[in-house]
Amino acid sequence: MSALAWPLVAAFILAWSVAGLIWRARILDHPNQRSNHVQPTPRGGGLGIVVGFVGALIFIPVMAPSDGAALVALALCTAMAAVLGFVDDVVTLNERPKFALLSLISLALAGMTGPVTDLGFALPWMIGWLGSALFVFTLANTVNFMDGSDGLMAASLIPPALVLAILGEGPFMLAALALAAALAGFAVWNAPLLSARGRLFSGDVGSLGAAVILAGLALVWASRAPSGSVWLVPLLVLPLLGDVLLTMAARVKAGRSPFVAHRAHAYQLLIAMGMSHGRVAMIWGGMSIACGVLALIANALSPIAGLPVFLLAVTGFTVLHQMCRRKARAAGLDTWQ
């Protein structure tokens, strides 16, 4: 076997096997009025993603000390996010300490893997650091909010991981491929492949851990990419970010709190209208692939193409999001619930 294949094989096998152990541990997610499931289902399987990715780093050759330091920082922040998420899965933490700890992890990761200080124009280091940390924090919460449909997280995060592998180089290319492999290993348990529902939920340990990994890899690439390329990063995760931010904006417009638990995301409305979890995952996976292709095209054209392509994609996604909400209202659903 090629030495370059070892990180991928290790990531997949570790993620698959650890997720299987979690499934057997039966840490159950009991349904409530906001759930998309009706039967108690094991959760916490996303620990496999974290173990798979961190384990794969052992097999990635690193030549430059700065690259090694960035990967170690990414592993440490990922581990901290995973511990935070796993504790929350088991005992349900109060939101304030969870918010504070995730903020500290985001600041640490942004400082050690970035920060991004060039948006096509130069930013002061402090502003770039805070902005990069905000991206990590927002993506972590976004993936956490969107991890409510079987297979959706893996379908949405594997394409951007693969694109970062294409755009990246050296150890970061292999690290991005290892993330994709770890997500695939977890998806064996979570995706509705042979039945209508998956057998295992990710839990906060997986959603926070996977989001921190992807955000860290994206920051490393964006901080080293040509000026203006940073706009390709939010483009890669637009199907996730867009659903969360547009839903929150709609709730604020309707006088509802954006921070109260709800079932008003577009993917939740589609499920409420009778769409299967598998089909929802395929839709989000397809949109993620489309955004990845757009990012690669924009990167091949010119660094300055990043912003207009991103804005074009935002416009298209907004139209699709509004169409979904109108269809849900026509079906008699409360789209601000």
For the chain, domain boundaries: 3-330
Give the least confident one: 2-16, 33-47, 235-249, 261-275: 33-47
DSSP string covering 114-158: ----BSSSB--HHHHHHHHHHHHHHHHHHHHHHTTSTTHHHHHHH
What pLDDT, on the 0 to 100 scale, is given for residue 310? 96
Q: How confident is the model at residue 92 (pLDDT cuts 50, 70, 90)?
A: confident
pLDDT tens per residue across span 35-72: 554 566 778 899 999 999 999 999 999 989 999 999 99
What pLDDT, on the 0 to 100 scale, is given for residue 336? 67
CA-nearest of 99, 337, 131, 80 to 233 is: 131
pLDDT tens per residue across span 124-181: 999 999 999 999 999 999 999 888 789 999 999 999 999 999 999 899 999 999 999 9
Rounded to two decimals, the pTM is 0.94
Phi, psi at 207, each rounded to 5°: -65, -45
Share of the chain above pLDDT 70, in %: 93
What pLDDT, on the 0 to 100 scale, is given for residue 197? 77
Query: In DSSP terms, which residues pair with 53 in a beta bridge?
Result: none
What pLDDT, on the 0 to 100 scale, is given for residue 3? 64
What pLDDT, on the 0 to 100 scale, is given for residue 95? 84
Q: How confident is the model at residue 34 (pLDDT cuts 50, 70, 90)?
A: low
- Residue with the larger pLDDT of the pair 92 and 297: 297
Spatial distance between the Cα atoms of 185 and 44, rounded to a whole number of angstroms: 14
What pLDDT, on the 0 to 100 scale, is given for residue 76? 97
CA atoms within 13 A on the CB side of 14: 24
What pLDDT, on the 0 to 100 scale, is given for residue 116? 93
